[in-house]
Amino acid sequence: MTHEVRIKGWCPGAWHPMATGDGLLVRVRPRLGRLSRAQVLALCDAAETFGSGLLELTSRANLQLRGVSEAGWLKLMAFLVEHRLVAAEPHDERHPPLLLAPEWQAGDATQQAAHRLQARLAEMPPLPAKMGFALDAGDAPVLGEASADFRLERAASGGLLVRADGRARGTPVASVDVAVALLVRLTHWFVDSGGRDAGRMARHAVALPDWAPATVRPAAPGAWLALGQHPRGRVFGLPFGRVPARVLRDAIAPAGVTAVRVTPWRRLLVEGAEKGDTPPADDLPDDERDTRLRMDACPGAPHCAQASVPTLALADRLSGLIEGTVHVSGCAKGCARQQPATLCLTGRAGRYDLILGGRADDTPAATGLGESDLLAYLETLDASRL
């Protein structure tokens, strides 16, 4: 392979890694949102051999390695290609990603749509790099909050519909084939109607074409995968969206485990795992009461070059202390959470700014706090504010 590392790709992938404070970030998109046990073992080996030993699960259900050296990247890519974890050709990674509802079953509408859409990706025009599809055709949509630009969902009547993101209603379609044809056609309409300037469907404030009338609402949203036992195995949570490779390897060690499905909710479904197979680890909890699962923290220092403060240890320390949502951000960019949080701590010049009910870049209530000042400050606050 003769490809060169591209630094600072604005939408990183495996072939287009992004430089961060601790090396390259290499992102893997599991095909159909599912990896075989052997592929997960290979990914764990890759994280330990070429990266920091941690795996991260993104809000678009991708898995990523951090801390990859430029010298090691090509060897890593050869390893990932060998284990069919990334496409052999860089241009295949350019296609828009497909996010599948994690509980899809063989032969259902979600899986059929994924196969048919994959076969037609080359018919689409080049789209802005962050654009993607949500294939969410179970009884009730579950991916409504996940990032996607065109969605396949069901109406309350059970019929299929195609919905452009940002629109409350979608276009009813008679079959998966019709849905896929409409999705492909909508990508051309998006580009032809100037959508590239908006970058995402939700920001493209243009009326939908006459041939895609948005008349039907999707069914009421369904629930996320609950932690613990599941008909296919067990569901585990990843605090702050991360898991050490050695912990994941232990979770898939039982002989009955066959595969792992990814989700956009910091949860993994380990197919074939049974209760008692593996005691839940602190790093891979299966208890909904674990408050770390509701907290957001970016990698912080030393993992990101923009960060002047560490984030993960502080987030761990705050776990269970705050009733509401918590966001610890290495800088004002706020990568880990775009919505306001009850308590947000933003690193600036080696200290923390404290924001109440806001985003990482909002006006702070207190500035320049060290960790002990911060804990003392929190004690002075009216509990109702937290």
The least CB distance from residue 18 to ligand SF4, in Å, is 11
Stretch of residues binding ligand SF4 (CB under 6 A), selected from 186-194, 199-207, 284-292, 299-307: 299-307
Distance CA 202, CA 198 (A): 8
Where would I find the H helices in 279-321? 312-318
Name the percent of the chain in helix, strand, coil, to the closest 5.
30, 25, 45
Beta strands in the chain (DSSP E): 18-20, 23-28, 34-36, 54-57, 63-68, 98-100, 133-135, 150-154, 160-164, 171-173, 228-230, 233-237, 242-244, 259-262, 267-271, 295-297, 326-329, 341-348, 351-358, 366-369
Stretch of residues binding ligand SF4 (CB under 6 A), selected from 79-87, 148-156, 332-340, 365-373: 332-340
Q: Is 58 in the site for ligand SF4 (CB under 6 A)?
A: no
What is the phi/psi pair of residue 243, to 5°? Answer: -150, 135
Nearer to ligand SF4, 304 or 374 (CB): 304
Of positions 298, 312, 318, 354, contacts ligand SF4 by CB under 6 A: 298
Q: Is 310 in the site for ligand SF4 (CB under 6 A)?
A: no
* Contact positions with ligand SF4 (CB under 6 A) in 10-39: none
Of positions 59, 118, 306, 342, contacts ligand SF4 by CB under 6 A: 306
Q: Tokens representing 232? A: 């296919």
Q: Is 299 in the site for ligand SF4 (CB under 6 A)?
A: yes
The least CB distance from residue 44 to ligand SF4, in Å, is 23
Nearer to ligand SF4, 58 or 306 (CB): 306
Of positions 148, 326, 328, 331, contacts ligand SF4 by CB under 6 A: 331
Of positions 181, 214, 281, 335, contacts ligand SF4 by CB under 6 A: 335
As a three-state string, the secondary structure of 146-212 is: CCCCEEEEEECCCCEEEEECCCCCEEEECCHHHHHHHHHHHHHHHHHCCHHHHCCHHHCCCCCCCCC
Nearer to ligand SF4, 111 or 311 (CB): 311
Instruction: Residue 153: name the closest of 111, 110, 119 by CA.
Output: 110
The least CB distance from residue 189 to ligand SF4, in Å, is 34
Q: Is 351 in the site for ligand SF4 (CB under 6 A)?
A: no
Q: Which residue has the tokens 């509980």?
A: 103
Q: Is 304 in the site for ligand SF4 (CB under 6 A)?
A: yes
What binding mask, one character per residue, do residues 245-284 give for ligand SF4 by CB under 6 A, x or -? ----------------------------------------
Nearer to ligand SF4, 24 or 77 (CB): 24
Q: Which residue has the tokens 């037609």?
A: 120
Distance CA 283, CA 270 (A): 15
Stretch of residues binding ligand SF4 (CB under 6 A), selected from 11-19, 48-56, 248-256, 297-305: 297-305
Counting Cβ atoms within 10 Å, is residue 226 exposed (0-12), middle (13-18) or buried (19+)? exposed
> Is the Cβ–Cβ distance between 23 and 59 less than 8 Å?
no
Total residues interacting with ligand SF4, rule: CB under 6 A: 12
Q: Tokens representing 340? A: 């306001």
Stretch of residues binding ligand SF4 (CB under 6 A), selected from 270-278, 323-331, 351-359, 364-372: 323-331
Q: Tokens representing 355? A: 């924001």
Q: Is 307 in the site for ligand SF4 (CB under 6 A)?
A: yes
> In this structure, what DSSP letter does residue 3 have?
P
Stretch of residues binding ligand SF4 (CB under 6 A), selected from 266-274, 296-304, 317-325, 362-370: 296-304
Nearer to ligand SF4, 84 or 333 (CB): 333
Find all residues with CB under 8 Å of 299, minimum gap 6, and list them: 20, 21, 22, 66, 307, 311, 312, 330
Nearer to ligand SF4, 134 or 360 (CB): 360
Q: Is 334 in the site for ligand SF4 (CB under 6 A)?
A: yes
Q: Which residues bind ligand SF4 (CB under 6 A)?
A: 298-300, 304, 306-307, 329-331, 333-335
